[in-house]
Structures are given as structure tokens and as C-alpha cells.
Structure 1
């Protein structure tokens, strides 16, 4: 006969089984936690590296953008100063700028359709051809500045992918 009765043996086996299960559970949880911590640390490192690359790209792109904009502005300012050379006073006196042209130009600058005008052939009072030329040069200067801004943004996006 055995010294320990069979219900106690079953109870002892159940306690040992529960203890082994609990030990395995804790070891598995610690292992998973270690994996989680390692993955989190790797993500933090990748994030820091990406932020560093983005900061470097931003500095580079902004520097190039500022240089390009300065060149565009200098060229535009030079062109505006040259308007009297290319549109002399005699041309201002000889050419009549009509209201229809002014309305069309203003509508195009606003990105809208021009309103129908009754006096399209009437001269626009006080508007010289040189003023029209200076306005057109300024508009193109702004257009080129916008193009450089878009190029800089596209460069930044390419570099920070």
C-alpha cells in the first residue's frame, strides 16, 4: 500500500502542473516584454534618425530656396529697372492702353473670367504702357518665386521619404 492516498497525489500533481504553467507564463511574459522593449527602442532610434535626416534636409532645401529666390528677385528687379529702356516715354505717349486690356489683365491675374465691358475700346485714363510692362514683369517675378517655392517643397519631400 502506498503511504499517500490517491486524492492527495492528484492534488500534488495539479499543484505542480499549475506551478509549472505559472512559471512558463511568467517566463513567456518576460520574453515578450523584452521583445516589445527592443522593438520600441528600435522604433525610437529610427524615429530619431529620421528626424535628424529631415532637419538636415530642411536646412539644405531652405538654404537653396533662399538662394534661388534671391536670384529670381534680383533678376525681376533688374527687369523692372529696364522698363524705361525698352518702353521709352515716346512709346507711352504713342500707345493707348484700353480698358478692355486692363480688365482682361486684371481678370487673368485674379484667375477669373473678365466681366463684359461696355467701353472696352475707351482708353484707360492715367495708365501708361510702361506701367503695364512693369506690372507684367512683377507678375512673372512672382510666378517664378512660386515655382521655386514648389521646387523646394518637392525637393524636401524627395529627401525626407
Structure 2
């Protein structure tokens, strides 16, 4: 029935073998491509897993440091308020000579980290010792609060870095 193909049988076999070899080569390429895709996904998954672990660590450290920061800030404010009460008890509001205006100007300049203005200016209004003590107490409370912020920032950095493990 296919006698007309007999002279071409060698060619048909060669084409069939070529088709089979091409199919095998393509399947090898396809499998290799799948393998590389799987490796890329595995690397991406590892990166995501590490990123997620770091995010969890950052959240945990942040929660701990933030809670400590809030507690410390409340404690600093409470202590400053207690000192303010003691100022009112120990330094009378009346009866003491006021501090010279230069004292207040120098103190304000030091608190603001500025060079004081020339002496004898209009800002040199005398201040009562009680008001001066209250202002100084408030400034120290701010200083302690800022120092605690820096300590807590250092703790946060240490906690999220590799050194904090």
C-alpha cells in the first residue's frame, strides 16, 4: 500500500529520528528552564522569608522599646512635677529678692544653645527665684526626656541589628 515510499524509507526514518531528537532536546530545554525557574522562586522565597523575619523582629523590638520609652517619659514627667511641688514648698513666691534680669537672659540663652545678647537689653526683666527654679526644672526634665529618647533609639538600633541577636 505504501510501496511508493519504499525508495524514500531511509529519508522517512531519518526525519522521524530527527523529529524524535528535536522533541527530546526541546523537553530537555523545557525541564532545564523549569529547574531554573524553580531555583529563582526558591531564592525569592528565601529573600521574602528573611525579609518577613526581619520585619517581625523590627515590630517586636519597636513594641518593646516604645513601651519602655512611654513608661520612662511618664516617670520623668512625674519626677519633674514632684520637684515643681517641692519648689513651691521650699522657695516662697514672695519675700525673696528677684533675680536680676541678666540671670534670666543668660539662662534662656544657655537653654537655647545661643550666644547671649549684649547686656542691658530690654529683655533683662527681673525674675522671681520660684519662677527661675520652675523654668530650670522644666528644662532639666526636657533634657532627661531627650537623653532617654537617645538611649531608647540606641536600644532599638541594637535590637534590630545583628548585634541584638
Does TM, normalized by the shorter one, top 0.5? Answer: yes
Q: How far apart, CA to CA, are the structure 1 residues paired with 2:92 and 2:104?
A: 20
Listed one character per residue, the Cα deviations across residues 82-116 of structure 1 (whole Å, up to 9, x for unaligned) are 113332346x523x322222221111222211111
The equivalent residue for 2:113 is: 111
Would you say 1:97 and 2:95 are equivalent positions? no
- Partner of residue 134, structure 1: 134
Matched, 1:71 2:72: no
Paired residue total: 153
Deviation, structure 1 residue 78? 0.3
SS at match of 1:82: helix
Is the 8 Å Cα contact of residues 77 and 141 (structure 2) preserved in structure 1? yes
Name the Cα RMSD after superposition: 2.8
Structure 2 gap segments, 5+ residues each: 1-8
Task: Give the equivalent residue in structure 1 for 2:46.
Answer: 42
Q: Does 1:124 align with 2:125?
A: yes
What is the TM-score with the length of structure 2 in the denominator? 0.77
Q: Which has the higher contact order (CA 8 A, sep 6+)?
A: 1
| Gapped regions of structure 1 (runs ≥ 5) | none
1:54 Cα deviation after fit:
1.6
